[in-house]
Amino acid sequence: MTHKRKLTRRELLRSSAVAAGTLVLTGAPGPLAYAQGSDTIRVGVVGCGGRGSGAAHNCVESAPGVQIVALADTFADRIEKLKGDFNVPEDHCFVGLDAYKKLMALDDVNFVILATPPGFRPIHLAEAIRQGKHVFMEKPVAVCPAGVKMVIEASELAEQKGLGIVAGTQRRHQNEYVETMKRVLDGAIGEIVSAQCYWNMGGLWCHKRQAGESDVEWQIRNWLYFTWLSGDHICEQHVHNIDVVNWAFGDVLPETVHGIGGRQFRTGEEYGHIFDHFGVEFTYPGDVRTISTCRQIEGTAGNVSERVVGTKGWTDCCGRIEGENRWRYRGPRSDAYVQEHTDLIKSIRDGKPLNEGKRIANSTLCAIMGRESAYSRQQFKTSWFTSRCTLDLLPPADLKLSDSRPVPAVAIPGQYELPGWAQQGRRSRG
């Protein structure tokens, strides 16, 4: 009998990293696409609120030869300031739920920033890639499994077309994180035995309903508090920290998910139907348990961080390693919100466009699974969720601002029905 050496957990993770994402599709890359006609990056901004405005300024600051030439938003009032900041002509400003299509049809736009509420992200990404545009898109990139699949498909098409995609997970472009994670993946802390990540803080802004606002208009203006638009705060915000933990594991998905959570502090109707706290246990290959917590409750202790523990030490993932291979980051520091644009634009000009679409889709998927496990208080395998969960929160193609859209009831664990759960036996769900 021939005896084979047993693979270490790290070798197993590295060898299976590509195959682990159940939803990931495959496709051969096509010819590279460059900025059309010249080296100038001509940017269209879809979603001109706070993050879209910030991303537009970051993009222009990130490299020479970058121009904001077109704007699109559901609401005209969101466009006005950016239009003045960048002298965008009126005929390149578009308003309405279909404004993104008009912007992306412009021949003189070769790069788009997607910064609308996340529920629209899969549809907007798919259209941008279809129209041959490079993309910077904010996180998260979806709010449901159907949206994640759509993002992965669009990312595969981008590879074939040679189009760049970078997501707003700026830690992936921050020197302190990049250098730390290189060492973690090279074994500086040994085999990972546990990890913790947190985004615990107070509250955020809230748009109270104004007289005359329809359901859809109010919900889009107050998008943080509706799952079909934001994915809940575990998805909209905490995905940053979850993404870092995935990074430490070589971008392998967890195998099982078990979440808890609730709504105790933000109970008014202005806060829609989302939770205000979550706690999730993700179990990665090798039965490695990790803890993820997030909270938006005033008067509570704040903690936005990550911590990964190995057999040789531990790291904060952001410039510090303790243990056998103690290390501190002493190198240059830059604005990661600018650097993510710098990296994308350089890759386009070098003819080797970055494509982070599938990676952020999988991190978004983890946040969605944590939310659905907490809503239902059910534990399940990732393989079950990616193949059996039928949740689809994508906005309908004929959505109108004037539409009625009742607010769903707040999920009650034990009563909330996880889509697809009833059709599958408990044994195969894990």
Domain with residue 135: its CATH number is 3.40.50.720
Instruction: Identify whether residues 113 and 231 lie together within a single domain.
Output: no
Instruction: Identify whether residues 85 and 164 lie together within a single domain.
Output: yes
Instruction: Identify whether residues 185 and 161 lie together within a single domain.
Output: no
Q: 199: helix, coil or strand?
A: strand
Q: Which residues contact 200 (CB under 8 A, 6 or more apart)?
A: 293, 294, 295, 300, 301, 302, 303, 304
- pLDDT of 35 over the 80 cut: no
Instruction: Identify whether residues 231 and 308 lie together within a single domain.
Output: yes
- Angle at which helices 357-376 and 239-248 cross, to 10°: 120
- Measured in degrees and rounded to the nearest 5, phi and psi for residue 386 equal -75, -20
Residue 321 belongs to domain spanning? 176-333+364-429
Q: What is the pLDDT of residues 38-88, one digit of tens each?
A: 689 999 999 999 999 999 999 999 999 999 999 999 999 999 999 999 999
- Domain boundary (306, 324, 356) is at 356
DSSP bridge partners of 135: 112, 165
**Cα–Cα nearest to 60, from 19, 111, 3:** 111
Is position 14 within any domain? Answer: no
Instruction: Identify whether residues 95 and 209 lie together within a single domain.
Output: no
**Least confident interval from 33-37, 114-118, 270-274, 308-312:** 33-37
Query: Which residue type is seen at 427?
Result: R
- pLDDT of 8 over the 50 cut: no
Instruction: Identify whether residues 304 and 400 lie together within a single domain.
Output: yes
Which pLDDT does position 55 carry in this prediction? 98
**Least confident interval from 17-26, 82-91, 200-209:** 17-26
Average pLDDT over residues 140-149: 98
Average pLDDT over residues 25-35: 34
Taking the CA atoms of residue 67, residue 69, residue 74 and residue 76 in that order, the dihedral angle to the nearest 10 degrees is 110
Which pLDDT does position 422 carry in this prediction? 82
Which pLDDT does position 4 carry in this prediction? 33
Q: How many CB atoms lie within 10 A of CB 243?
A: 25
More confident residue, 10 or 359: 359
**Interior/surface letters 344-358, b for 16+ CB within 10 angstroms, e for the rest:** bbebbeeeebbbbbb
- Domain boundary (325, 356, 387) is at 356
Position 102 confidence tier, pLDDT thresholds 50, 70, 90: very high
CA-CA distances (angstroms) from residue 35 to 28, 40, 111?
21, 7, 8
Which pLDDT does position 425 carry in this prediction? 52
**CA 187 centroid distance within chain:** 27
Q: How many CB atoms lie within 10 A of CB 277?
A: 21
* Contact of 78 with 49, CB cutoff 8 Å: yes
Instruction: Identify whether residues 133 and 210 lie together within a single domain.
Output: no
**Cα–Cα nearest to 36, from 374, 388, 348:** 348
Q: In whole angstroms, what is the distance from residue 362 CA to residue 306 CA?
A: 18
Instruction: Identify whether residues 261 and 384 lie together within a single domain.
Output: yes
Is position 117 within any domain? Answer: yes
Is position 419 within any domain? Answer: yes
For residue 234, give the DSSP letter.
H
Is position 7 within any domain? Answer: no
Q: Which residue reads 């989302």 in tokens? A: 274
- We report the CATH number of the domain holding residue 294 as 3.30.360.10
Instruction: Identify whether residues 267 and 156 lie together within a single domain.
Output: no
Q: In whole angstroms, what is the distance from residue 310 CA to residue 183 CA?
A: 12
Is position 11 within any domain? Answer: no
Q: In whole angstroms, what is the distance from residue 287 CA to residue 289 CA?
A: 6
pTM over 0.75: yes
- Domain boundary (324, 356, 388) is at 356
Strands, sheet with 41-46, edge to edge from the N-terminal-most edge strand: 93-95, 66-73, 41-46, 111-114, 134-137, 165-167
Domain count, the chain: 2
Q: Which residue reads 């990616």 in tokens? A: 386
Omega cis (within 30) before 140: yes
What tokens were used for 217?
Answer: 């208009």
Is position 374 within any domain? Answer: yes
Instruction: Identify whether residues 92 and 195 lie together within a single domain.
Output: no
Mean pLDDT of the chain: 91
Is position 10 within any domain? Answer: no
What tokens were used for 409?
Answer: 């009831």
Q: How many CB atoms lie within 10 A of CB 267?
A: 10
Q: What is the pLDDT of residues 286-341, one digit of tens each?
A: 999 999 999 999 999 999 999 999 999 999 999 999 999 999 999 999 999 999 99
Instruction: Identify whether residues 396 and 280 lie together within a single domain.
Output: yes
Instruction: Identify whether residues 248 and 302 lie together within a single domain.
Output: yes
Is position 73 within any domain? Answer: yes
CA-CA distances (angstroms) from residue 20 to 17, 24, 183, 251?
5, 8, 22, 9
Which pLDDT does position 138 carry in this prediction? 98
